[in-house]
Structure 1
Amino acid sequence: MHSTQTKSNDSLKEMVITQDPVWLLNHCDECLSLDNSPKPFLNDEQLDIVSLVLISFIQLFNIIGLVGNILSIAVFIKLGFSEPSHISLLSLAASDLACVVLSIWTNLCFIPAFRDLRLPFHAINITTLTGAGLWSFIVRTVAWITAFISFERCLCILAPLKVKRYITPKTTFTAMLLIAALTICPSFLIYIRWHFVWMFYPHLNATILDVIPIDNKYYILLATIVKYICGVLQPLLAFAIVVLCTFFLIVQLRKVSSWRKSVTSGEHRWGQNSEEKPTPNAPGRNTISQKEERLVRLVVVIATVFIVCFTPTSLQLLFSSLFEGFFYFGFYRRIYFVVQLITFLGEAVSGAMNILIYYNMSSKYRFTLRRLIGLENQEQKSKI
């Protein structure tokens, strides 16, 4: 009996390592209970505990992000579309909101107690297409919108007059549409390989909704190409652009700060009426206005938060491309699942923090938000 069970486990391990997608989806429960190594990263009980803790934090930040991004969308619509930055920040808030909604659904399906319910669908497999898969598409959009905002601020510093002629509300709106089209639409090509089907599970004695892949070599090739181009190269390239642009903006802000300190100390040393004090036309004067500087600081903070929160996602994409078994039903499935939850947590934190960043760093946003929720009117009434 023991030898028979050992042979059965060996055959299961072999099938997991070979990653036969049809077999994996039809026997996913055996895969989840299979111990792939003598010393696993986490056993099933520990994995459930870690998952529950991470999912609790994710859902908390998701709720904050849900409310915050809805308010941000309302504020930017109220501010109007005369400024290109309002359009790009509105697009960022809308993308974050979509990520939050998909993350709430996906993480609900990841909760062990929810998975154990007798649902009419296979929670993990269904959410792979309806939740986590779509979430990964929108995250790429968030990455590229952040890259666009950062790059546009860099151009405003390098060539302010030329940029203002070309970066208009119309061109910004067009850029947002192109980013959405190029990051989301090609990714749906992966879906042509997957079908929703009703499948009978003997251990449940029930027929439930599931997904199965079409074993077609052309579909597999197309899905692989799209995966590496849209799923790995696109987000990692956007991440690199954000990092480089943020570094450039930080350097420029330091130059501005140093120049302002030198002007202030010069005025103090020479006196207000001295002919030798620095003037606005003095050599080395930085061309960034105070309004532009405030916007650059806002973009730097947004980009920095994005870099910190998107780093787990970048590592996950990199490891997925380097290690064959680094996926949900693969050899490193436990590590992958924990990293996947951390990526959800990072995006949830990023989406929740944006409203706090806008509120603390933009007086126009703060005033509009307070009027929108009625705080400004109440303060005026109390003064009267």
Structure 2
Amino acid sequence: MYVHFIEEDNTTRYPALEQLTNHPFHLWEDHSKGSSMLSLASGFLNDEQFYMILLVIVSISQLINICAIIANSLSIAVFVQLGFSEPSNISLTALAICDFTLAVLLTWNNLCFWLTYHNVRLPFHVLNVNFLTGGAQWTFLSSTVAWITAFISFERCLCILLPLKVRRLITPRGTFVVMLIIILLTFCPSFFLYIRYKFVWEFNPYLNLTILNTSLVNSEFAVLFEKISIVICGVIQPLLAFSIVVICTVLLVVQLRKISSWRLSVTSAKSQRVRPEENPATSSPSAKLRISQKEERLVRMVVAIATIFIMSYIPTCIGILCNVVFDEFHPFGVYKRLSIVSAYITSLGQPISGSVNIIIYYKMASKFRSVFRRLVCLDRQEQERHELE
């Protein structure tokens, strides 16, 4: 969701040009696109509407981020106490850590917005430095969250489709290695942006001091590497991970319905005292559905997590597709204001998902609920209340 300068026709443009404009969020008007297109674009949102919408979104985002930071901190503490003997605990801990980091990065992004909006004079270019210290990392880390969720959903699919072999296929050590690989392939490439961008000290005549800023590296290799990384990490990876989550979630829901029907048929067969050969529990298709109730609860929890993720990630996918399909839907295109507002709106989805996950854990995982209550001293408070009564 970051907004940063780009290079067009060998000209570097900045979204925040406080040394050249009256307002730090003044938007460039590219008259080469034609006055009619500019009139159409400016008709959607005027200056007052644009700034007011961003202020409202950032304020809401900050409240959500605080909730996400607290919720994921508690989730991480609970999973640490539960231990990592179960592969699911490892993947869910990795998800909580990424959600926590996303909320911290988005908090930093919002702080930079406020500093720029109120035109606070600092010894660095706030938005451009924020791009290399938070904005880009947030974008790449959101893809990491998508892939971790995809792995969790895929793991649960294996538990249902291959219940007798999954213990050998999915081990704690293997899950830990998979988490590292996902982070290396999705988040770590964000640091390769330093090949294309670098920090520089430059004199700002408006502030009359030397400030820290960012600059483009115009080598052919750096430009090519940036384009490839944006296409792979910014478009292909998140859309592919989202597709995997959707497919696995649909499969899990279908299998859960089959399991519920199978349990109902077994109960009905026992009540009618049918012959063993007629009992559905002994048939080979039904044998594949005989998973423990513990596993079934875990599958239902994963379905809930994946469903929340899908709902929160749909706006991000729509934004990615709009950037791909519409050439002018970016911070320096004709529809620049709509692009920036949509980017801030889509950034709300994942902290909301990260905040809600702890409620799902608490409601659907008995061990998590027990440790959580002990961690926040709820059991002690209830015990003292009963003693007073």
* CA deviations over 1:25-82 (Å, ceiling 9, x no partner): 3984558344451131312211111011111111111111000000000000000011
Deviation >6 Å, runs of 4+? none
Q: Indicate the larger mover: 117-126 or 101-110.
A: 117-126
Paired letter, 1:19: E
Paired letter, 1:38: S
- Structure 1 residue corresponding to 2:307, chosen from 304, 313, 322: 304
**Aligned ranges 1:78-117 → 2 under 5 Å:** 78-111=81-114, 114-117=117-120
Q: Does 1:23 align with 2:12?
A: yes
Unaligned 5+ segments in structure 2 are 31-37
CA shift for structure 1 position 20: 4.3
Q: Conserved in 2, the CA contact under 8 Å of 1:141 and 1:179?
A: yes
Q: TM-score, normalised by structure 2?
A: 0.87
- Structure 2 residue corresponding to 1:176, chosen from 179, 182, 191: 179
Q: 1:252 to 1:26 in 2, by over 3 A?
A: closer
C-alpha separation in 2, matches of 1:18 and 1:94: 34
C-alpha separation in 2, matches of 1:181 and 1:118: 37
Determine which structure has the larger helix proportion and give its number: 1
**Aligned ranges 1:234-313 → 2 under 5 Å:** 234-267=237-270, 270=272, 278=279, 280-282=281-283, 284-285=285-286, 286-313=289-316
Q: Conserved in 2, the CA contact under 8 Å of 1:228 and 1:321?
A: no
Q: Conserved in 1, the CA contact under 8 Å of 2:319 and 2:342?
A: yes
- Structure 2 residue corresponding to 1:367, chosen from 370, 385, 388: 370
Q: Does 1:38 align with 2:39?
A: yes
Aligned residue for 2:51? Answer: 48
Q: 1:120 to 1:114 in 2, by over 3 A?
A: farther
C-alpha separation in 2, matches of 1:87 and 1:158: 21
C-alpha separation in 1, matches of 2:142 and 2:362: 23
Q: Indicate the larger mover: 301-310 or 109-118.
A: 109-118
Q: 1:26 to 1:226 in 2, by over 3 A?
A: same
C-alpha separation in 2, matches of 1:183 and 1:84: 21
C-alpha separation in 2, matches of 1:123 and 1:21: 23
C-alpha separation in 2, matches of 1:348 and 1:26: 25
Q: Conserved in 2, the CA contact under 8 Å of 1:51 and 1:111?
A: no
Paired letter, 1:176: M
Q: TM-score, normalised by structure 1?
A: 0.88
Q: Conserved in 2, the CA contact under 8 Å of 1:194 and 1:211?
A: yes
* CA deviations over 1:356-383 (Å, ceiling 9, x no partner): 1111111111111000111112323444
CA shift for structure 1 position 333: 1.9
CA shift for structure 1 position 164: 0.8
Q: Does 1:346 align with 2:349?
A: yes
Q: Conserved in 2, the CA contact under 8 Å of 1:17 and 1:331?
A: no
CA shift for structure 1 position 131: 1.2
Q: Indicate the larger mover: 337-346 or 197-206.
A: 197-206
Unaligned 5+ segments in structure 1 are 1-15
CA shift for structure 1 position 203: 3.9
Aligned residue for 2:34? Answer: none
Paired letter, 1:288: I
Q: Indicate the larger mover: 178-187 or 324-333.
A: 324-333
Q: 1:26 to 1:86 in 2, by over 3 A?
A: closer
Q: Conserved in 2, the CA contact under 8 Å of 1:52 and 1:112?
A: no
Q: Indicate the larger mover: 319-328 or 233-242.
A: 319-328
Paired letter, 1:136: T
CA shift for structure 1 position 115: 4.5
C-alpha separation in 2, matches of 1:22 and 1:237: 34
Q: Secondary structure at the match of 1:161?
A: coil
Q: Conserved in 1, the CA contact under 8 Å of 2:323 and 2:329?
A: yes
**Aligned ranges 1:140-179 → 2 under 5 Å:** 140-179=143-182
Among the aligned pairs, what percent are the same residue?
50
**Aligned ranges 1:169-248 → 2 under 5 Å:** 169-248=172-251
